[in-house]
Chain A
Amino acid sequence: MIRVQNLVKYYGPTLAVDHLDLDVEAGQVVGILGPNGAGKSTTIRILTAFMPPTAGSASVNGHDVLTDSDAVRRSIGYLPESTPLYPEMRVREQLHYFGRLHGLDRTARNRRIGELTEACGLEAILARPIGHLSKGNKQRVGLAQAMLHDPPVLVLDEPTAGLDPTQITEVRKLILRLAESKTILLSTHILPEVEKTCQRVVIINRGRVVAQGEPEELKQRVRSASRVVVDVKAPVEQVKAAFEKIQSVQDVEAYNDQGWTLAAVTARDNVDIREILADAIVENRWSFREMTYETASLEEYFIQITSAANIEAA
């Protein structure tokens, strides 16, 4: 549905996108993840035919963004970063205006606006000026606007940025509901976002794809081993010594916490050492109040991979 090949974009002498490749199959929800300034918005702006690439090619629904940009614009519903809308217009007026620009006649506009009012929950705000809406409501108007012409592809640039947690959940639900019938490409720098909404994640940094795959798959690639934190009542040295004897334990860090010992135990080769640790605790007849199993999050992977790429580039 979306094909990006060898995409390069320079802003003057600054390289924003560096030979980027990206493929999105029809019906997929794909998240572009990257730190600020990684080239997410630039890639999206090229895809939506807002600006041309310096080199390389991008196509949406089989239409090239340079030679067939009108067809690309008709295939894409685009929600730009920070959802720009006209503050002086009422929600209904804004939707009618963009419906008109997309060539919908009055009947078609009324029908679509009716459908989207329901889908995006706009009943209560249709007649209100956009300047008076909350950010969450603006986001819904933006989403409705992007879908007016019923495009097969939705491109959302940071759709949840700046929203409060309730609003984020609402917008995310809305996106997931839409995802049933559309191909969606969304960008974000918030990690839980992609874990929850996307089937595939593309991590980019400095204009390059540094990793991609399913969120679960990416997590497993994290090289940092899993850790278990236990809280037992025993002297620090004893706990340290006891745990270090265990074969599959790689490293133990222990601290005194008002008579209790907090030990962070790192396992060798990602082995699950919870049971072994529990046995050791029972064997030593220590009192014991907590055990936490920490797996690597996508967040850690993200930091690992983007900082590794930074070091490489430096």
Chain B
Amino acid sequence: MSNTLAIARRELSSFFFSPIAYLVMCGFLMLSGLFFMLTVFATGQPAEMRNLFFWMVWILIIVVPAISMRLVSEELRSGTIESLMTSPISDVQVILGKWLGGLMFFVALLATTLSLVFVLALWSQPDYGPVFTGYLGLILVGGLYMAIGTFASVLTRNQIIAFLLTIFLILLLTVVTYFLPRLLPPEWSAAAYYLNVNEQYDDFSKGLIDTSNFVYFISGIALFLVLAVKALESRKWR
């Protein structure tokens, strides 16, 4: 546990030395602010963040891979993986630490958008229940994308490839599972629909906390973290 936290802490602090991280931060805040102005902060709109949350789930498709792309691939490229993997720590600790470090940075990034909630509160009386569940859901979506990104970054030492591979895998869970159900027989389309991230997130933005949504995100995170551990193990045998 302490090893996992040590890796996560190092990962988190190294983000603040990376120009890409600052770019991501700027881009994310700018887009969130823009969508906030366009969809939430307008006369006649209800005082809720739901419309913004809808768009943020889409923004995460770019933001999270940009954070996760360097997690393991940078260690592979620079060779520090050798010092790391010859320390008395396990592959599981490495992967968990990397994922957690990335997620911590993402949560910090997300926390900055609380300023938008503050602005909303200045002009109206928002219902904080759905705001809370909406953010909880975003953390789960971010956690899932971060797990996918961690897996992708074990596969290559090239950050760009890790970035694109992560986006590709996320698109399978968002765009493809959105259009695919229309082409499938009904009994299959329900299953494909279940895999859609946006669909699973929808309840959170409405203020609902459903166990089945939790199961979806937690098992998705677990699946990709296990894949990442396996991929890291298999690197040695090549």
A contact residues vs B (CB 8 Å cutoff): 11-12, 45, 48-52, 70, 73-74, 76, 78, 80-82, 84-89, 93, 97-98, 100-103, 145
Given known A50-B236, A73-B88, A145-B83, contact A84–B6 (CB-CB < 8 A): no
Please determine whether A103 and B79 come into contact, CB atoms closer than 8 angstroms: no
Please determine whether B87 and A101 come into contact, CB atoms closer than 8 angstroms: yes
Interface string of B134-154 (1 = CB under 8 A from A): 000000000000000000000
Contact of A97 among B6, B78, B81 (CB under 8 A): B6
Please determine whether A102 and B80 come into contact, CB atoms closer than 8 angstroms: no
Given known A85-B80, A86-B80, contact A50–B86 (CB-CB < 8 A): yes
Please determine whether B6 and A100 come into contact, CB atoms closer than 8 angstroms: yes
* Nearest opposing residue in chain A for B5, CB measure: A100
Interface of B (DSSP majority class): helix
Contact of B85 among A50, A52, A93, A102 (CB under 8 A): A50
**Contacts between chains A and B (CB distance < 8 A), count:** 67
Q: Which of B10-18, B59-67, B164-172, B177-185 contacts A (4 or more CB under 8 A)?
A: B10-18
Residues of A within 8 A of B83 (CB): 78, 80, 84-85, 98, 145
Chain A CB within 8 A of B3 CB: yes
Closest beta carbon of chain A to B17's beta carbon, Å: 4
Residues of A within 8 A of B89 (CB): 101
B contact residues vs A (CB 8 Å cutoff): 2-3, 6-7, 10, 13-14, 17-18, 78-89, 236-238
Closest beta carbon of chain B to A283's beta carbon, Å: 64
Q: List 29 A-B contacts (CB under 8 A).
A: A12-B238, A48-B86, A49-B86, A50-B82, A50-B236, A51-B236, A52-B237, A76-B86, A78-B83, A78-B86, A80-B79, A80-B82, A80-B83, A82-B79, A84-B78, A84-B81, A84-B82, A84-B83, A85-B80, A87-B78, A88-B18, A89-B10, A97-B10, A100-B6, A101-B84, A101-B89, A102-B87, A103-B2, A103-B88
Residues of B within 8 A of A74 (CB): 88
Distance A145 CA – B83 CA, assembled complex (angstroms): 9
Distance A223 CA – B78 CA, assembled complex (angstroms): 43
Residues of A within 8 A of B238 (CB): 11-12
Please determine whether A101 and B236 come into contact, CB atoms closer than 8 angstroms: no
Distance A103 CA – B87 CA, assembled complex (angstroms): 10
Residues of B within 8 A of A145 (CB): 83
Distance A81 CA – B2 CA, assembled complex (angstroms): 28
Given contacts A51-B237, A84-B82, 15 further A-B contacts (CB under 8 A): A11-B238, A49-B86, A51-B236, A52-B237, A78-B83, A80-B82, A80-B86, A85-B83, A87-B78, A93-B13, A98-B83, A100-B6, A101-B7, A101-B89, A103-B2
Residues of B within 8 A of A98 (CB): 83, 87
Please determine whether A88 and B14 come into contact, CB atoms closer than 8 angstroms: yes
Top-6 shortest CB links A-B? A84-B79, A88-B17, A80-B82, A101-B87, A100-B6, A84-B80
Distance A28 CA – B10 CA, assembled complex (angstroms): 36
Residues of A within 8 A of B86 (CB): 48-50, 73, 76, 78, 80
Residues of A within 8 A of B3 (CB): 100-101, 103
* Nearest opposing residue in chain B for A11, CB measure: B238
Residues of B within 8 A of A82 (CB): 79
Residues of A within 8 A of B13 (CB): 93
Residues of A within 8 A of B85 (CB): 50
Distance A93 CA – B237 CA, assembled complex (angstroms): 32
Closest beta carbon of chain B to A79's beta carbon, Å: 9
Residues of A within 8 A of B88 (CB): 70, 73-74, 101-103
Distance A310 CA – B87 CA, assembled complex (angstroms): 37
* Nearest opposing residue in chain B for A45, CB measure: B82
Residue picked from A12, A70, A100, most chain B C-beta under 10 Å: A100
